[in-house]
């Protein structure tokens, strides 16, 4: 339920209604705006009738949210949200790029790639410390050592860092070392993990599952936001189809759907979406045309030596060339690239 207050309603009115919402067993939401305040009531719909807010003197209108996802819905929050990750703002008129290797392999190797990412003008740094792999014999990441390398390198270069959290037991460690959590495709519907991230204090980049619908992704985000963490960013990273020419099928129509249905920012990962180095730049340009708020790009200082995802990782000069071309595509959509970090 959405409760829209009258323009003259004050904070005391809002607090009184929020207390009433909580008293009947619903979760209250407070969303002050420029012109008026909007309140939300989330939970068991059978309890909504107990509120009797239609005749409240401070209430202008009460609307039901028809979508099964409530807090992430544009019905609840009609204006676009902006999520702050360190110095980087995701959403709004500016577009951002996060670059880095699939995995943190060593301090020296990660430092080389991170320096190239910074020099090219990226806004954030990515790298996996914990790597869930299809094969148990593949490189699984450096764990805590990888987190320390990420944190130290990000601080040295002045770039916010993003890394994947794989299980509940890692949440505290990742939160202590990174500026944002990434939830990988395989964990998109790990609801216990999503609930824990909703209670954490860092933003979350939520990747779409390999066989997940757009509504599945929206409902996964609802788990996080309903626990109090509104700083969620969707990531389209390709879905599994019958096509064998690419690693996944990058569904850019999902960007359009998400922007229409939700107020949360959307980024695209064309590296995992294609799995082919030569396709990354064209799909990155297409993602911007579809309205993406940012890009996650895999970069490695020497891809042929990468311990994971070398075939889809850009060389540093390819990454730099991509960033040089992006402003023209952003301008064509009426937006602009954010200034480099």
CATH superfamily name and code, 2-63 = Phospho-2-dehydro-3-deoxyheptonate aldolase; domain 1 (3.30.70.1140)
- The two structure tokens encoding residue 99: 């670059």
Instruction: Name the segment(s) of the chain with CATH classification 3.30.70.1140.
Output: 2-63
288 touches 275 (CB < 8 A): no
Sheet holding 37-42, edge to edge: 27-32, 37-42, 2-5, 59-63
pLDDT at position 137 is 66
pLDDT at position 32 is 81
pLDDT at position 40 is 87
Distance of CA 256 to the CA centre of its chain: 15
CA atoms of 340 and 119, how far apart (whole Å) = 9
Q: How far is CA 311 from CA 181, 305, 328, in A?
A: 25, 10, 27
139 touches 307 (CB < 8 A): yes
The 3-state DSSP class for residue 173 equals helix
Distance of CA 197 to the CA centre of its chain: 12
- The two structure tokens encoding residue 54: 């239609």
The 3-state DSSP class for residue 130 equals coil
User: pLDDT tens track of the chain, all 341 residues?
Assistant: 889 999 999 999 999 999 999 999 988 888 887 677 889 888 877 787 788 888 899 999 998 887 889 899 998 888 899 999 999 999 999 999 999 999 999 999 999 999 999 999 999 999 999 876 677 767 778 899 999 999 999 999 999 999 999 999 999 999 999 999 999 999 999 999 999 999 999 999 999 999 999 999 999 999 999 999 999 999 999 999 999 999 999 999 999 999 999 999 999 999 999 999 999 999 999 999 999 999 999 999 999 999 989 999 999 999 999 999 999 999 999 999 999 98
φ/ψ (deg, to 5) at 289: -60, -30
pLDDT at position 337 is 98
CA atoms of 3 and 114, how far apart (whole Å) = 46
CA atoms of 307 and 166, how far apart (whole Å) = 19
Instruction: Name the segment(s) of the chain with CATH classification 3.20.20.70.
Output: 83-337
φ/ψ (deg, to 5) at 124: -155, 165
Non-local (6+) Cβ contacts of 208 within 8 A are 185, 188, 214, 217, 234, 235, 236, 237, 239, 251, 254
Neighbours of 287 (CB within 10 A): 25
pLDDT at position 85 is 98
297 touches 312 (CB < 8 A): no
**83-337: which CATH architecture?**
Alpha-Beta Barrel (3.20)
């Amino acid at each position: 339920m959405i409760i829209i207050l009258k323009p003259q309603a004050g904070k005391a009115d809002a607090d009184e209604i929020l207390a009433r919402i909580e008293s009947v067993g619903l979760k209250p939401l407070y969303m002050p705006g420029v012109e008026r305040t909007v309140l939300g009531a989330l939970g068991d719909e059978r309890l909504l009738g107990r509120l009797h807010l239609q005749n409240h003197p401070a209430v202008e209108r009460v609307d039901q949210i028809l979508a099964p996802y409530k807090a992430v819905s544009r019905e609840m929050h009609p204006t676009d949200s902006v999520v702050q990750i360190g110095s980087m703002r995701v959403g709004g008129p500016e577009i951002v790029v996060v670059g880095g290797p699939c995995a943190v392999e060593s301090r020296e190797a990660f430092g080389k790639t991170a320096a190239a990412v910074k020099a090219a003008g990226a806004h954030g740094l990515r790298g996996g410390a914990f790597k869930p792999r299809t094969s148990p014999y593949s490189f699984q990441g450096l764990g805590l050592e990888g987190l320390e390398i990420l944190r130290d390198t990000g601080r040295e270069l002045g770039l916010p860092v993003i890394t994947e959290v794989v299980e509940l037991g890692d949440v505290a460690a990742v939160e202590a070392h990174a500026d944002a959590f990434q939830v990988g495709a395989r964990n998109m519907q790990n609801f216990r993990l999503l609930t824990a991230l909703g209670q954490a204090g860092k933003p979350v980049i939520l990747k779409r599952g390999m066989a997940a619908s757009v509504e599945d992704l929206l409902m996964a985000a609802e788990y996080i936001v309903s626990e109090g963490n509104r700083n969620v960013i969707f990531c389209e990273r390709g879905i599994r189809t019958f096509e064998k020419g690419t690693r996944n099928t990058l569904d850019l129509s999902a960007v359009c759907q998400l922007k229409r249905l939700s107020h949360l920012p959307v980024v695209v990962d064309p590296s995992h979406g294609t799995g082919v180095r030569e396709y990354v730049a064209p799909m990155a340009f297409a993602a911007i045309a579809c309205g993406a708020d940012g890009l996650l790009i895999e970069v490695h200082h020497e891809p042929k030596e990468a311990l994971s995802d070398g075939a889809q990782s850009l060389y540093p000069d390819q990454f730099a060339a991509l960033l040089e071309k992006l402003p023209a595509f952003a301008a064509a959509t009426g937006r602009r690239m954010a200034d480099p970090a």
